[in-house]
Structure 1
Amino acid sequence: MSTPADDHVTRRAQRAATDAEILRLAWPAFLALVAEPLFVLADAVIVGHLGTTQLAAAGVAGALMTTLVGLCVFLAYGTTASVARRIGAGDTAGALAGGIDGLWLAVAIGLAVTVAAWPLAPTLVRLLGASDEVAGPAAGYLRIAAAGTTPLLLMLAATGVLRGLQDTRTPLAAAVGGNVLNIVLNVVLVYGLGSFDGLGLSGSALGSVLAQLATAALLVGVVARGARRAGVSLAPDLPGVRAAGRAGVPLVVRTLTLRAALLLTVYAVAALPAGRGGDDAGLAAHQVAMAVWGFLAYALDAIAIAAQAITGRSLGAGDRAEARALTTRMLQWGVAAGVATGLGLAALAPFLGRLFTDDRTVLDLLVPVLLVAALAQPVAGVVFVLDGVLIGAGDGRYLAFAGLVTLVVYAPLALLAPSLTWLWAAFAFGFMAARAGVLLHRARGERWMVIGTTLAR
């Protein structure tokens, strides 16, 4: 018969094992997330030395590609959930078959976008406000970059498969290797080497496409080898591809609501009275604050990625108790990470702005905004973790509904904010707190805890 002391030791051992698993999945995911913006910055440096027009053109085309990839992130999230559930159920072949369906869906979407981008490129760059001088180079860059859409989406889908298989190390290696190759190719193709004079701006787009092809080939190759070992066909299964597409629709809606909230915030900044953030200084301060917020989000998003994989596997195994216990522990991780990032941001708030600007007006606006962002970090920790848990559970319909609710709650708060600091308070304790509320409400119940290989409804 066990004693209270024995039970305490057992609980400690179980908690330590859970922590080790979360760390095993989250740490490589965090490094992969951080690597991407660093290499994007390197691309900007390479193109920036060509001239302002070229840099602006790459920025416009890059914004369009980033938006597309953001909307298609369901290829990673949805695949992670479905694959992890089947792994939990002991159906490795079924997991890989579902993963192959996701890869073929990525191919279908990617080819359609590439074909459409050629005639639409001039119109799209104009919609983003490109000037006559920038529009031509931006359209040319976009047409080349769009050729990399299929490998980009294959990277997302294959990463989702590997995360579902509880492997975040391979995507990390692919991300770092692919981005290093991207830098090398960009330097050579932009500026030339030896007798090769370089292609200028077009070389940057081409270098990125080639690096994306290599990275996609590596990730897809890993998945394909696993599928062949499990006896899974690599041929497209149209019903499976259609099912993967239908499952992704709610996550697209969720993503659209998040993007809409961010765009609404920028609109609200521009609408503020002059001197309270509604001018160039206010927009600059907001941009810096959002960049800092986004960087800190990587630490929290890494835990969310671990939550997707672990939750899906637990529910697939039919273990609601484990799913509940893991959710509780990951929430503790999220809050702790939020407290840590919040304290760090609060301590650095008076100094961070100087890394971006010497404008005293911008710095004066920025400090209180960063302090508000610091206070909101624990709330963000809750949001990111529960978002990952429910994505892992396949609860996309609720996440879409929750996104619409929070956007409705946030819109009037943002539009009525009298200053930049109050707008950020509305974002932090209106939008993020509303997200936390709807996610906590869902997590307390059991409707999302559908066991087996069926996703939540």
Structure 2
Amino acid sequence: MGGGAAELPRVRDDRPRRSPGRSGGQGGAVAEGVQATWLAICLGLGVLLLFQLFAGPLTRILAGGTGAVAESGEQWLRVASLGLPLLLISLAGNGWLRGVQDLRRPVRYVLAGSLLSLVLCPLLVHPAGMGLVGSAVANVAGQAVTAALFVRALVREGGGWRPRPTALGRQLLIGRDLLLRAVVLQLSFLVAAGVAARSGTAGLGAHQIALQLFFFLALVLDAYAIAAQTLVGHALGAQRPGEARATAARVVRWGIGTGLAIAAVLLATRDVLIPVFTDDPAVRAQAEVVWWFLAGMQPLAGAVFALDGVLMGAGDVGYLRTLTIGSAVLGFLPLSLLAGPLDWGLAGIWTGLSLFIGLRLVGVLLRVAGDRWLHAPATVGA
């Protein structure tokens, strides 16, 4: 998704699209989707192994030593990291479905998983008595549902499921920028949640509720990225840079406008929405703090996600990789890590997330204002 949209890059050309069928373009996209899913499983299991090996040392660093907080945080991280292979499977599914011009099913699948996680998180943390681990279980359950829906869609298309090393190597080469970008993003969110765990179940519960809403709203705003990616790819493939610029300006306006509308709704319904997720007074108090950050960043996020789609449509994924990683390393991660020892709490973590969005916005605006993205090399993906 736009937080960011990390599917495989699309083909940049203006060839007429084939109607849906099991031959031609769709058959090729499905075959690539199978290989992308195998690649996601292999890479996801590798990253999962690393998290399982280093969960203890990492949480002790975040928690500032040993003790109950560090032990609880380690359990949370071990469970939460189980979702990494599922996330990569979903990204692969998102890519091949967009490749066949099916833009509805990815939204439905991600929405189903996000809603399940939103419902389970407050229930498992408090009424079920699972504490911090409950929030991780809720996240993994939602990711499992989304991944299963994508895999089911791929199975229904038929075709062979044999992994092909040559195809896997090609996809790894093509998608390395977006893959690295996705891994750094997930690492940043895991670190932020680990820091939130230091404040106890109330802080982590509020953080997880707001974060799930952030992901859900990113899915809504990512609709502009999907449109921009397709329109810009066609325009540049047909050698119409003026049209690509006009599309970029248009989707930014729509993204900002939608973000402002979402922010207004969030603020107007704060006292109604927060009690829907939890009846715990401590969690509510923490959620009210985060709510201002969640609402305030929506207009910025609307512009960022829209321009992500513009640059992906132009094949400028290398720049997006560098910008996203740089913004995470310079903004999100430092403030998240400092929030613990400096006792900034959730305000510090969400200031880091806001800075992450802000730095990305500056970067994509500067890029689109220039001309280099208009001549970025086309890339091919599922």
Which bracket does the TM-score occupy, shorter chain normalised? 0.5 to 0.7
Cα displacement string for residues 185-237 of structure 1 (whole angstroms, at most 9, x for unaligned residues): xxxxxxxxxxxxxxxxxxx9xx979866542133x45xx8xxxxxxxxx9999
Q: Could you tell me which residue of structure 1 aligns to residue 181 of structure 2? A: 254
Q: How has the CA–CA distance of structure 1 residues 430 and 217 changed in structure 2, closer, same or farther, with 3 Å as cutoff?
A: same
Higher relative contact order (CA 8 A, sep 6+): 2
- Pairs within 5 Å for 1:47-446: 77-79=7-9, 81-82=10-11, 85-86=12-13, 88-89=14-15, 99=29, 102-103=32-33, 105-106=35-36, 108-109=38-39, 112=42, 153=89, 157=92, 159-169=94-104, 214-218=152-156, 220=157, 242-271=169-198, 278-410=199-331, 411-417=333-339, 418-420=343-345, 422-446=347-371
After alignment, is 251-260 or 325-334 more displaced?
A: 251-260
Q: Distance in 1 between matches of 2:28 and 2:54?
A: 36
Bigger Cα Rg: 1
Partners of 1:174 and 1:262 lie apart in 2 by: 21
Equivalent AA in structure 2 for residue 368 of structure 1: V
Does the CA contact (< 8 Å) of 1:78 and 1:394 recur in 2?
Answer: no
1:23-66 deviation per Cα after TM superposition (whole angstroms, max 9, x unaligned): xxxxxx9xxx9xxxxxxxxxxxxxxxxxxxxxxxxxxxxxxxxx
Q: 1:270 touches 1:279 (CA, 8 Å); kept in 2?
A: yes
Q: CA deviation at 1:345?
A: 0.6
Identity of aligned residues (%): 32
Q: Secondary structure at the match of 2:269?
A: helix
SS at match of 1:358: coil
Deviation per CA, 1:410-450: give whole Å up to 9, x if none: 13333334433532551343111111111211121121112
**Alpha carbons of structure 1 residues 317 and 371: separation in structure 2 relative to 1, 3 Å:** same
Residues 310 and 392 in structure 1, CA contact (< 8 A), matched pair in contact too: yes
- 1:293 to partner: Cα distance: 1.7
The alpha-carbon deviation at position 305 of structure 1 amounts to 2.0
Call closer, same or farther: CA 1:292–1:156 in 2, change over 3 Å: closer
Amino acid at match of 1:439: V
1 CA distance for matches of 2:284 and 2:24?
Answer: 54
Partners of 1:212 and 1:269 lie apart in 2 by 31
Contact 1:164–1:309 (CA under 8 A) maintained in structure 2:
no
| TM-score where L is the length of structure 1 | 0.57
Change (3 A) 1:308 1:98: farther
Structure 1 gaps, min length 5: 1-28, 34-69, 179-203, 225-233, 272-277
**Structure 2 residue identity aligned to 1:383:** V
- Which residue in 2 is equivalent to 1:47? none
1:346/1:424 CA distance change after superposition, 3 Å? farther
Mapped partners of 2:269, 2:103: distance in 1:
31
Structure 1 contact 99–157 (Cα < 8 Å) conserved:
no
**Contact 1:320–1:451, Cα closer than 8 Å, also in 2:** no
Residue identity in the other structure for 2:203: G
Whole-Å Cα distance in 2 between the matches of residues 174 and 422 of structure 1? 31
